[in-house]
Structure 1
Amino acid sequence: MTDGGPTRDVFLPVAAQPSIDTLVDFAREAEGLGYERAWVPETWGRDAVTTLTAIAERTEDIGIGTSIANVYSRSPALIGQTAATLQEVSDGRLRVGLGPSGPAVVEGWHGVEYGNPLRRTRETIDIVRLVLSGDPVEYDGDIFQLSGLRLRCDPPDTLPGIDAAGMGPKSVELAGRFADGWHALMLTREGLRDRLADLRRGAELGDRDPESLRVTLSLPCIALDERERARELARNHLAFYVGAMGTFYREALERQGYEDEAIEIASEWANGNQEAALAAISDELLDDLGIAGTPDECRERYADWESIDGVDAVSVSFPRGAEPDEISATMRALAPE
């Protein structure tokens, strides 16, 4: 973990945007505002690799990263090739975020069986490192067996860090044991502290220094003069993820003391009662998982998250329904000083 206070990153919108140019403009605005890195998600919209390439070509200094590239839709060797290429395109500004995603995306969109997510993530990290080393890739794992080839271009002079995403104890322990860092999401401040203990335990199991691992928190943020609009966007975002994106998000809330609300949100959403699902989200839950309100109150509450010991970067993330002007307004309101 790095010395000093955490940096401020930006997690570009997961929802569809008008164009690639819109996403590039967000990244350029973030660069001008002093954000450290622009993370690009990948679900079932524009792919992260093409988007990051466009951003890398049209920015100068801001870091770039995948958050999160899933470990099912590309082979580990292809992820390694892609990381080497993006590191070249960006002149060394890449950080790789990997994770298993969930059945809704992996099976429902990619048509790939979702199984052994922890083992697959661990083997993917291993193989990506081998590819990036430039050495022959010899690997005999439970899932992947590779032999005989090496990267056909020069490996990067500076190797990109490889982070793993996770919400549960075992997935965070895996990040501590095998990755260079951890991407945290859907966590309260207390829940984050619990998972940081899992990260440290994983580092110890891997005989690694926990202080060497980089922790990036994706924090849902929406800062608008119209407070109720900000709160509505945040509620919609949370209800969608708990209700529509599989069990992982619901289970994450249950572990953190919100079992009744998590079950009610998921149940109402599954039954087509979206308004009831939104109504099940208390102000306490909404504020425990992110910041939504006026610019002044969001700036004040953002500082509470930055003060958590062990967090290296707090990434400003946006509700899926936010309009481009609302995303820009939030970036400006929470820009590094």
Structure 2
Amino acid sequence: MAMRLALNLGYLVGRDDPAGQLALAERAESLGFASVWVAEAYGSDSPSVLAWLAGQTSTIGLGSGVMQIPARTPAMTAMTAASLDLLTGGRFSLGLGVSGPQVSEGWHGVRFDAPLARTREYVDIVRAALARETLSYAGTHYTLPLPDGPGRPLKLTIAPARERIPVYLAAVGPRNVELAGEIADGWLAVFYAPGYADEQLARLRAGQQRAGRGPDSVDVLATVPLVTGPDPEACAEPVRSYAALYVGGMGSRKQNFYNDLAVRMGYAAEAAEIQDLFLAGRHRDAMAAVPYRFVDDTSLLGDVDRLTERLARLAEAGVTTCAVTPYGRGLETRLAALDTVAEAHRRAGLA
């Protein structure tokens, strides 16, 4: 049994953050991590950060976790992916996600409708462009070239370093997870708990079977908060803000995919309370309402021995790449957490 380690840096959050993110990426590379992933919402964009990291690293893989589908045309995404793959010598993986209605409509001005069908067409076009096909597409949501103008079918003028750039899909809802199993090379999972993994993997496998794909055709990449220390309950405290934001405030009261996931995981009452508190502006109370068990089930908390056992559980629960997000006060604490999880990974025999 093997499971790769990766690093998820999330978003840039302040003026001093770039230096810290670079230091974490360099440490992950020195420890043999497979890849580093960066996110975007309505602040830093992932391709810019990845290009900056690429110029200062040499071996570690680089992934967008994610590039937002409503933010770019599929052809623009293909251009960016080809450029990053070429410039990094084949180190880039393309993670895509539909974002949510608030960001899609409020920030990008793109209606959040038919996300599964849009994603399917989007991936079709990106893959065709990256294969350097002369691009012509007649879909429900995308038509290339436009039929009533001077446009003509075009072909990407550069070639990626690799014949096929891996495409990952961020998926939370059951139907989205099935779609990842059907069309993606990897699934970007969040709040992945071994106790709930069978239900999610069943959806992934259903998509794979529908497409005639084998069970090993999709990399299950779970982003997992990481906090090291002797007391797991104390380690959970820094993660509460992240859990409260996503379960309580990432979306509207009627449409929050992460809240829905918490409900499916058996935390219906707690998810409702967290959302009520967060949307009322009582963020600290929302954080306090996040159950310790939820944080512990979806994070890596504790000392090296506990991390060793928890990494083994994640691997047994189907995770093939564990992307850790280190929490803690100060850069040195987070760097040390990477050292600890690398040692736990070695002890668990997952390399």
Output the TM-score relative to the length of structure 2.
0.89
1:278 and 1:74 mapped to 2: Cα distance?
Answer: 34
Which residue does the alignment assign to 2:270?
Answer: 261
Q: CA deviation at 1:280?
A: 1.6
**1:275 lines up with 2:280 in the alignment:** no
**1:75 lines up with 2:73 in the alignment:** yes
Question: Map of 1:22-171 to 2, 5 A cutoff?
Answer: 22-147=20-145, 148-171=153-176
Q: 2:295 aligns with which of 279, 286, 297?
A: 286
CA deviations on 1:150-185 (whole Å, 9 max, x unpaired) are 102234443211011111110010011111121111
Q: CA deviation at 1:71?
A: 0.5
Matched residue SS, 2:123: helix
**1:303 lines up with 2:308 in the alignment:** no
Q: CA deviation at 1:273?
A: 1.8
- One-letter amino acid of the structure 2 residue matched with residue 143 of structure 1: H
Q: What are the ranges of 5 or more consecutive residues in structure 2 without an aligned counterpart? A: 146-152, 347-351
2:104 and 2:187 mapped to 1: Cα distance?
Answer: 21
Q: 1:324 aligns with which of 331, 340, 345?
A: 331
1:293 and 1:334 mapped to 2: Cα distance?
Answer: 10
2:103 and 2:335 mapped to 1: Cα distance?
Answer: 28
Which residue does the alignment assign to 2:8?
Answer: 11
Change in 2 beyond 3 A, CA 1:157/1:272: closer
2:277 and 2:43 mapped to 1: Cα distance?
Answer: 26
Q: CA deviation at 1:60?
A: 1.3
1:312 and 1:306 mapped to 2: Cα distance?
Answer: 6
Which residue does the alignment assign to 2:321?
Answer: 313
Q: Is the CA contact 2:10–2:40 (under 8 Å) kept in the aligned structure 1?
A: no
Q: CA deviation at 1:15?
A: 5.1
CA deviations on 1:274-293 (whole Å, 9 max, x unpaired) are 23212222222221221234
How many equivalent pairs are there?
332
1:189 and 1:74 mapped to 2: Cα distance?
Answer: 34
1:105 and 1:98 mapped to 2: Cα distance?
Answer: 15
Q: Percent identity?
A: 34
Q: Which segments of structure 1 move beyond 4 Å, counting only runs of 4 or more?
A: 225-229
1:334 and 1:93 mapped to 2: Cα distance?
Answer: 23
Q: Is the CA contact 1:92–1:158 (under 8 Å) kept in the aligned structure 2?
A: no
Superposition RMSD in Å: 1.9
2:326 and 2:137 mapped to 1: Cα distance?
Answer: 39
Q: CA deviation at 1:318?
A: 3.7
Q: What are the ranges of 5 or more consecutive residues in structure 1 without an aligned counterpart? A: none
Change in 2 beyond 3 A, CA 1:15/1:227: farther
Q: Is the CA contact 1:180–1:212 (under 8 Å) kept in the aligned structure 2?
A: yes
